[in-house]
Every structure is written in C-alpha cells, then in structure tokens.
Amino acid sequence: MNNKAIWIIFVLLFFLHQDFWNWDNRGLVFGFLPVGLAYHAAFSLAAALLWASAVKWAWPSDVEAWADESNDEGEASA
C-alpha cells in the first residue's frame, strides 16, 4: 500500500461518513446500540486502521531526516 492508496481510502472514508441510508433507522445492534451510533463507532475503528496503515506505509521519513540534519540556519529570525 503506498501514499496514494492511503489518501484514496481517506477520501472514500470521508464520503462514507455521510451515511444517509441510516438516517431514519431506529434499529439496534447487539440489542442496545442504535444503528447510527454503531456505524460511526465502526467508522472510528476504520479510521484507526487507516492511520495505522499510513504510519506503516506512508510515514514521511524524509521530513524526519531533514529535521534531524545539523541545523546551520539557527534560531527563528522574526
């Protein structure tokens, strides 16, 4: 999985957040969790999985390396 794939999944999740098909659903999952709440709790887990994947496959190591180089620029000038 690469950087592009991560951000495609991000966009997909962003649109899946708008679960209009659950809007008037008063059903219960596991006997007590309203469907609208259960869906979004699962969404939170999906988001965590996405970010775990991003950390594993799309971590900006180059940014880290640049910051860790010796600093010749000195302190902030403003």
Partner 1 sequence: MTPIIVILIYLGLLLALGVFSSRFFRGTSADYFVASRSIGPFLLLMSVFGTTMTGFALVGSSAKTYNLGIGVYGLMASYSGLLHSACFFLIGIKLWAFGKKYGYVTQCQYFRDRFESSALGYVLFPILVVLIIPYLLVGLIAAGSAIKGLTSPVIKPDGTVVRPGMFPELFEATNGAIPPWLTGLVIATIVLIYVFLGGVRSTAWANTFQTIVFMITGVVAFTLIANALGGPAAASEAVLERNGESMAREGKISTLHFFSYAFIPLSVGMFPHLFQHWLTAKSAKAFRLTVIAHPIFIMLVWVPCVLIGVWALGVPKMDGTPANAVLGKMVAVLVAQPIVTGILFAGILAAIMSSLDSQFMCMSTMFTNDVVVHAKGQDHFTDKQLLWLGRSFVIAIVAVTYAISLFKLPINVFDLGVWCFSGFGAMFPIAVAGVYWKRATKAGVIAALIATAALWLGLIGYDLFVFKEAHPKEEFLLAGMMPAAALFATCLITLILVSLATKAPDDKTIAKFFPKAIAK
What residues line the site for partner 1 (CB under 8 A)?
A: 10, 13-14, 17-20, 22-26, 28, 31-37, 39-41, 43-45, 47-48, 50-52, 54-55, 59-60, 62-69, 71, 73-78
Angle, alpha carbons 52-58-62 (nearest 5°): 130
CB of 1 to partner 1, least distance (A): 15
Residue 39: burial class (beta carbons within 10 Å; 0-12, 13-18, 19+): middle
CB of 3 to partner 1, least distance (A): 9
CB of 8 to partner 1, least distance (A): 13
Only one residue has tokens 């809007």, namely: 23
CA distance 31 to 27: 9
Which of 2, 67 has the CB closer to partner 1? 67
